[in-house]
């Protein structure tokens, strides 16, 4: 830890990239001194212990996920003011002359709307579908590893961690391999906008990207409605709620956008943090090589320590009290999942990487309750298959001695390594 232990809590700026790079001492201070902390600079309320994060999540009527409007820049929706004038039938047939106004769907909605969206989309992400993808995930892992295994060195993020989840979800959303670079560009653009650190120019670029993305996917949605296939997008756009009402085009596109933001960066970051942890703990690597049945619990431990969705927003719908602190109506609340996952009251010796940890899966890396991650089973499958494939082909791995210090991309919500250089001995 770089932070001096006598550094007071109010000297930290949560948005400072240096704090984001190495937040662990700050998180420990928050848990110990102010589990519900009103940040003096921003006025945000930060919730940092496991128990209080869970309390806030369970009380979803008061700690609402309808935070999108509060997070938008002052002119946030201006690119969309022309929306809505299109001919509805034309829109539903996949022809967009203008951007469609984004709809608050799962992550940025509350029940009953959120419940309706989840009931329509959960079916598309059901466990049997995820299980049926296992052979394809394995094949994609193998192909990616084949491309670097003879080199003895790899930058794992770009060569494996990013393309794996991107390819899995792209295939399931009907995006052909040649369009993957566009798909990646949209995903990156949305993540940058979400980071809370985008410049006005980046915000403008994000709006343009959203329209490009909408035009591309409106055609796919329309074609999957006309000719369903055996994939997630077909299940999604052909599902109907109990009143027989399916998702309309604007809802479908907003959900697709959320899938891209929520799924790719997070899974890629977990793969990288996992490989880094194993590079730093060669004895643990040797054990999973010898006994792959240890991998699923190791994945939970990696998720706990990595917590790529480090923080998430809530907005207080009424004046309330949490952990003895009054939170006025309308306050922005930050749930600090990454701090909760190192709560010493729940996880013994919380900073230690322990692939046998008995309660590793008590982490809140996927959230909890009504907003529990839609893609958790898919992400777990990708993480387990990645480690199975990598550990079968690589005997030992390490971070090269001449590598630059590892760095994470500054982002207030999502935490992920910029790159991960590794050298290794192949099997
Ligand atoms: C390691 C990978 C992942 C992590 C750590 C992660 C983390 C999370 C967390 C913490 C939440 C809850 C947010 C809240 O309470 O407000 C969440 C929700 C969500 N995740 Fe994930 N996620 C991952 C992968 C995925 C994947 C692969 C997908 C889909 C392709 C996905 C789609 C979603 C969606 C749509 C939601 C919103 C659900 C709702 O609000 O009802 N995630 N995720």
Among 259, 309, 386, which residue has the most ligand 1 atoms within 8 Å of its CB, making it the best to mutate? 309
Which of 193, 157, 219 has its CA nearest to residue 407?
Answer: 157
**Positive or negative torsion for Cα 299, 305, 310, 312:** positive
CA distances in angstroms from 141 to 97, 285, 369, 387, listed in the order given: 39, 18, 31, 9
Q: Determine the distance separating the centroid of ligand 1 and the alpha carbon of 20, expressed in angstroms.
A: 21
Which of 45-49, 99-103, 340-344, 415-419 has the weakest average pLDDT?
A: 99-103
| Res 72 pLDDT > 70 | no
- How many Å apart are CA 317 and CA 330, to the nearest integer? 6
- 257 CB under 6 A from ligand 1? no
Q: Would you kindly state where each structural domain of the chain is located, as residue ranges? A: 9-426
- 193 CB under 6 A from ligand 1? no
- How many Å apart are CA 138 and CA 143, to the nearest integer? 9
CA distances in angstroms from 406 to 21, 165, 365, 399, 419, listed in the order given: 9, 22, 22, 9, 7
9-426: CATH topology: Cytochrome p450 (1.10.630)
Q: In this predicted structure, what is the pLDDT of residue 197?
A: 64
pLDDT in tens, 284-301: 999 999 999 999 999 999
- 262 CB under 6 A from ligand 1? yes
Q: Say if residues 303 and 363 touch (Cβ distance below 8 Å).
A: yes
- Nearest ligand 1 atom to the CA of 337 is 10
- 371 CB under 6 A from ligand 1? yes
- How many Å apart are CA 196 and CA 307, to the nearest integer? 18
**Three-state DSSP class for residue 310:** coil
Q: Say if residues 198 and 73 touch (Cβ distance below 8 Å).
A: no
296-301 long-range contacts (CB < 8 A, ≥24 apart) are 296/380, 296/384, 297/355, 297/356, 297/357, 297/360, 297/361, 298/274, 298/355, 298/387, 299/274, 299/380, 299/383, 299/384, 299/387, 300/357, 300/360, 300/361, 300/363, 301/353, 301/354, 301/355, 301/357, 301/360
Among 126, 161, 166, 262, which residue has the most ligand 1 atoms within 8 Å of its CB, making it the best to mutate? 262
Q: List the residue whose alpha carbon is closest to atom 19 of ligand 1.
A: 373
Residue 152 CB contacts under 8 Å (≥ 6 apart), including other chains: 423, 424, 425, 426
pTM for this model (two decimals): 0.94
Angle between helices 113-122 and 249-280 (to 10 degrees): 70
pLDDT in tens, 360-395: 999 999 999 999 999 999 999 999 999 999 999 999
How much is the average pLDDT of 260-275?
Answer: 94
Tell how far CA 31 is from the center of its chain. Answer: 23
Angle between helices 249-280 and 295-306 (to 10 degrees): 100
pLDDT in tens, 322-364: 999 999 999 999 999 999 999 999 999 999 999 999 999 999 9
- Nearest ligand 1 atom to the CA of 270 is 1
Please give the residue that has the higher pLDDT: either 2 or 256.
Answer: 256
Mean of per-residue pLDDT scores for the chain: 92
* Confidence grade of residue 201 (pLDDT, cut at 50, 70, 90): confident
Q: Say if residues 367 and 312 touch (Cβ distance below 8 Å).
A: yes
């Amino acid at each position: 830890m770089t932070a001096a232990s006598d550094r007071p809590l109010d000297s930290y700026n949560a948005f400072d990239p240096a704090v984001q790079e190495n937040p662990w001492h700050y998180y420990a201070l928050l848990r110990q001194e102010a589990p519900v902390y009103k940040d003096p600079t921003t006025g945000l309320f930060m919730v940092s212990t496991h128990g209080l994060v869970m309390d806030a999540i369970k009380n979803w009527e008061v700690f609402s996920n309808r935070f999108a409007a509060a997070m938008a820049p002052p002119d946030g929706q201006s690119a969309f003011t022309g929306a809505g004038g299109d001919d509805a039938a034309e829109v539903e047939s996949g022809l967009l002359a203008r951007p469609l106004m984004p709809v608050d769907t799962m992550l940025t909605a509350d029940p009953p709307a959120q419940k309706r969206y989840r009931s329509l989309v959960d079916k598309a992400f059901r466990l049997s579908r995820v299980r049926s993808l296992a052979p394809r995930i394995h094949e994609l892992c193998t192909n990616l590893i084949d491309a670097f295994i003879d080199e003895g060195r790899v930058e794992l993020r770009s060569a494996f961690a990013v393309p794996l989840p991107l390819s899995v979800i792209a295939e399931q959303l009907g995006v052909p391999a040649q369009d993957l670079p566009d798909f990646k560009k949209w995903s990156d653009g949305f993540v940058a906008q979400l980071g809370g650190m985008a410049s006005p120019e980046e915000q403008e670029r994000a709006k343009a990207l959203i329209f490009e993305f909408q035009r591309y996917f409106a055609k796919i949605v329309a074609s999957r409605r006309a000719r369903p296939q055996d994939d997630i997008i077909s299940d999604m756009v052909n599902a109907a709620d109990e009143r027989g009402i399916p998702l309309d085009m604007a809802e479908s596109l907003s959900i697709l956008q959320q899938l891209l933001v929520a799924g790719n960066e997070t899974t890629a970051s977990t793969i990288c943090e996992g490989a880094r942890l194993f590079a730093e703990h060669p004895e643990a690597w040797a054990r999973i090589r010898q006994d792959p049945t240890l991998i699923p619990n190791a994945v939970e431990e990696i998720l706990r320590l990595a917590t790529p969705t480090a923080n998430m927003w809530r907005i207080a719908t009424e004046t309330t009290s949490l952990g003895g602190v009054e939170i006025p109506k309308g306050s922005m609340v930050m749930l600090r999942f990454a701090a909760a996952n190192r709560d010493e009251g729940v996880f013994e010796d919380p900073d230690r990487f322990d692939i046998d940890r008995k309660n590793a899966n008590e982490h809140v890396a996927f959230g909890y309750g009504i907003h529990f991650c839609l893609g958790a089973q898919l992400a777990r499958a990708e993480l387990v298959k990645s480690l199975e494939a990598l550990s079968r082909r690589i005997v030992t791995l390490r971070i090269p001695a001449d590598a630059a210090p590892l760095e994470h991309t500054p982002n207030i919500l999502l935490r992920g390594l910029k790159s991960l250089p590794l050298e290794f001995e192949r099997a």
